[in-house]
Amino acid sequence: MSRPEDILPPDLFYNDNESRKYTTSSRIRNIQADMTHRALELLDLKSPSFILDIGCGSGLSGEILSQEEPEHGGPHTWVGMDVSPSMLDVALQREVEGDLFLADIGQGVPFRPGSFDAAISISAIQWLCNAETSDVSPEGRLKRFFEGLYASLRRGGRAVCQFYPKNDIQRSMISQAAIKAGFGAGMLEDDPGTKNAKLYLVLTVGGGGLQGDITGVVNGMDDVSVLDARRKAAEINKGRAPRKGDRAWIMKKKDQQEKKGKVVKLNSKYTGRKRRIVF
Amino acid sequence: MKVITANFVTCAVKECKTTATSFPLHFHDAELELQEVDFQPEFIRNVIPRIDWEGLRTTANELGFPSLPETKPEGDELTNEQTLKDLHRLLLETQVMEGKLVCGTCGHAYAIKEGIANFLLPSHLGKFRIEFRS
């Protein structure tokens, strides 16, 4: 499948025609709605909140924020940012309730510290991995975005960003940038291994709310299994190649020499031990 | 753009964010419109602690609203329905449709058209500012 990210920058790709097609396609609308509901579930908001919608486009996701039922903590008030004027034009015609900004998220998030209860982003932040001019880099854009986002969320706030990484490099580039900005980060994958896999980057801003770590976000959710990559990374560290000079290393070297047909001293319990000073 | 949003938005230029005069941004030639929004006392109560009252007073003044009380309503005042309704009207129902937002530090003017503020920065501002001294 061709990726729009590879064709043109977002403000040019989503021209009037593409924006209209995107917004009227019932397939896209359904997918977007499902993902927005999932993101809301992860945000776990208890009362009407002030939300930032990053890459709001024509307001498909924002609409759902405004329509959230009171028993689920809604309806929320939202502010949307997008870089495509045509998309925002469609949003205007659809008379969405949120406030709209024409802004490039790679240039930062222009809000006061602690402004928002939560942030949501549906299929947008993979665009940050493209740099359209030679004076910006994807790393720099990601850094500015996540630092701005981190500052603009209140303590204990959460952000859920659904995105389509091109490959594992992009995936780790985005999550590493978020962690560097100070977020507690976790990934949730729906339908893993299929063509319809959906990746959600769940970010938390420390302080209050969440007990324990990021895996607490999915507590009480059905059909979610937690794979802790941190533990796996720690295990890999533990079982890594022996350090030069220790017993395991000496045994390995002796083995190698023996296989080459060299004369090697016999192994004993004294092999690889230090010679202590006697007195 | 709603007045509540204007109370949170700052200048997008990185160097300005740290200066005191970059907030609030000042409205110029603002055209207002009233758009009915469902009244949500809970949301107002949730968001009031985060509102910068001084900034809101400045904004209200610039938009030609009767001056607000000196101090932010707190505690019992937030149970008064009339206070909440007034705040709701100002924060959520008042929309700036056309005009400009001007930063007090760098003087950059962000245009507002049909309620949408243009916060795209020219590329030399979006990154680092390079100054040449003569």
Cβ atoms of B121 and A104 within 8 Å: the answer is yes
In whole angstroms, what is the distance from residue A52 CA to residue A252 CA? 57
**Whole-angstrom Cα distance, residue B25 to residue A264?**
79
Q: Which two tokens stand for residue B60?
A: 């209200």
* Domain membership flag for residue B134: no
DSSP secondary-structure letter at A213? S
Q: Is the pLDDT of residue A102 over 70?
A: yes
The one-letter amino acid at A217: V
Looking at the predicted structure, is the pLDDT value of residue A214 above 70? no
**Residue A278 located in a structural domain:** yes
Q: Structural domain tally of chain A?
A: 2
Does residue A233 sit within a domain?
A: no
Token reading at B123: 């590329």
- Mean pLDDT, rounded, of chain B: 82
Q: How far apart are the first and last CA of chain B?
A: 41
**pLDDT tens for residues A37-72?**
888 888 888 888 899 999 988 888 888 888 888 777
So what's the ipTM on this one? Answer: 0.85
Q: Is residue A234 part of a domain?
A: no
B87 near B108, Cβ under 8 Å?
no
Q: Are residues A145 and A213 in the same domain?
A: yes
User: According to the model, what pLDDT value does residue A223 have?
Assistant: 67
H or E element: which one contains A144?
helix A138-152
What does the alpha-carbon distance between residue A40 and residue A173 come to, in Å, rounded to a whole number? 24
User: Cβ separation of A117 and B123 shorter than 8 Å?
Assistant: no
Mean pLDDT of A203-222: 66
Residue at token pair 């870089």: A83
3-state class (DSSP) for residue B54: helix
Q: Which residues on chain A are in Cβ contact (under 8 Å) with B52?
A: 112
Predicted confidence (pLDDT) at residue A13 exceeds the cutoff of 70: yes
DSSP 3-state of A134: coil
Place of tokens 């720099």: A140
Q: With an 8 Å Cβ cutoff, are A101 and B117 in contact?
A: yes
Size of interface A-B (CB pairs under 8 A): 90
Please tell me the predicted confidence (pLDDT) of residue B23: 80
In terms of domains, do A216 and A78 share one? Answer: yes
- Tell me which of B2, B7, B9, B52 to substitute to probe the interface with A (most A C-beta atoms closer than 10 Å): B9
Q: How confident is the model at residue B134 (pLDDT cuts 50, 70, 90)?
A: very low
Residue B16 pLDDT greater than 90, yes or no = no
Number of H helices, E strands in chain A: 9, 7
Is A138 at the interface with chain B, CB within 8 A?
Answer: no
Q: What is the DSSP letter of B93?
A: I
Maximum Cα–Cα distance for chain A, whole Å? Answer: 91
Max distance between CA atoms of chain B, in angstroms, equals 60
- Taking the CA of residue A32 and the nearest CA in chain B, the distance in Å comes to 23
What pLDDT does residue A257 have? 95
| A92 interaction partners in chain B (CB closer than 8 Å) | 114-116
Residue showing tokens 């009227």 = A24
What residues in B contact A111, CB-CB < 8 Å?
A: 8-10
Up-side HSE of residue A225: CA atoms within 13 Å toward CB? 3
Q: Residue B55 maps to which CATH number? A: 2.20.25.10
Confidence at A220, pLDDT banded by 50, 70, 90:
low
Helix A138-152 vs helix A168-180: crossing angle, to nearest 10: 40
Q: What pLDDT score does A59 carry? A: 87
Q: Does residue A235 lie within any of the structural domains?
A: no
Do residues A193 and A203 touch, judged by C-beta distance below 8 A? no
Whether residue A263 sits in one domain with residue A176: no
Task: Provide mean pLDDT across the span A254-267.
Answer: 94
Residue B133 has pLDDT above 50, yes or no: no
Per-residue buried b or exposed e for A202-223, using 16+ beta carbons within 10 Å of the residue's own CB: bbbbeeeebeeebeebbeeeee
Residue of B nearest to A106 (CA): B126
Tell me what pLDDT residue B132 has.
46
Q: Does A222 share its domain with A273? A: no
- Residues of chain B found within 8 Å of residue A79, distances taken between Cβ atoms: 5, 8
The DSSP element (H or E) to which B101 belongs, if any, is: strand B94-102
Does residue A102 sit in the same domain as residue A142? yes
Single-letter residue type at A18: E
Q: Is B93 on the interface with A (CB under 8 A)?
A: no
Number of structural domains found in chain B:
1
Which residues of chain A are within 8 Å of residue B2 when distances are taken between CB atoms? 99
% of residues, chain A, pLDDT over 70:
87
Tell me: the pLDDT tens digits for B82-120? 888 888 888 888 888 998 888 888 888 888 888 888 988
| Lowest-confidence region among A74-88, A106-120, A202-216, B8-22 | A202-216
Confidence grade of residue A261 (pLDDT, cut at 50, 70, 90)? very high
B9 within a domain of the structure (yes/no): yes
How crowded is the C-beta side of B49, counted as CA atoms within 13 Å?
Answer: 9
* CB contact A68 to B (< 8 Å): no
Q: Which amino acid is at A15?
A: N
SS3 A77: strand
Please state the pTM of the whole predicted model. 0.81
List the single residue in A with minimal CA-CA distance to B122.
Answer: A107
B12 shares contact with chain A (CB less than 8 Å)? yes
Whether the CB-CB separation of A129 and A5 falls below 8 Å is answered with yes
Q: Given an 8 Å threshold on Cβ–Cβ distance, is A102 in contact with B120? A: yes
* Domain coverage including residue B51: 3-126
Q: How far is CA A192 from CA A189, A198, A199, in A?
A: 6, 7, 9
pLDDT of residue A231: 64
The answer to whether residue A88 is domain-embedded is yes
Q: Provide, rounded to the nearest whole percent, the portion of chain B with pLDDT above 90.
A: 1
Please indicate if any CB of chain A lies within 8 Å of the CB of B23. Answer: yes
Contact B59, B7 (CB under 8 A): yes
Distances (CA, A) of A186 to A101, A201, B108: 28, 6, 38
User: Can you read off the two tokens belonging to residue A73?
Assistant: 């903590």
Q: Would you say residue B132 lies in a domain?
A: no
- Residue B133 placed within a domain: no
pLDDT at B123: 67
Domain that holds residue A125: 4-227
pLDDT at position B103 is: 86
Q: Are residues A260 and A155 in the same domain?
A: no
Separation between Cα atoms, residue A14 and residue A58, nearest integer Å: 10
Nearest-Cα distance to chain B for A144, in Å, is: 9
What is residue B104's three-state secondary structure?
coil
Chain B: residue whose CA lies nearest to A109: B12
Domain CATH number, residue A37: 3.40.50.150
Judged by a CB distance cut-off of 8 A, whether residue B14 touches chain A is yes
Interface contact B47, partner A, CB < 8 A: yes
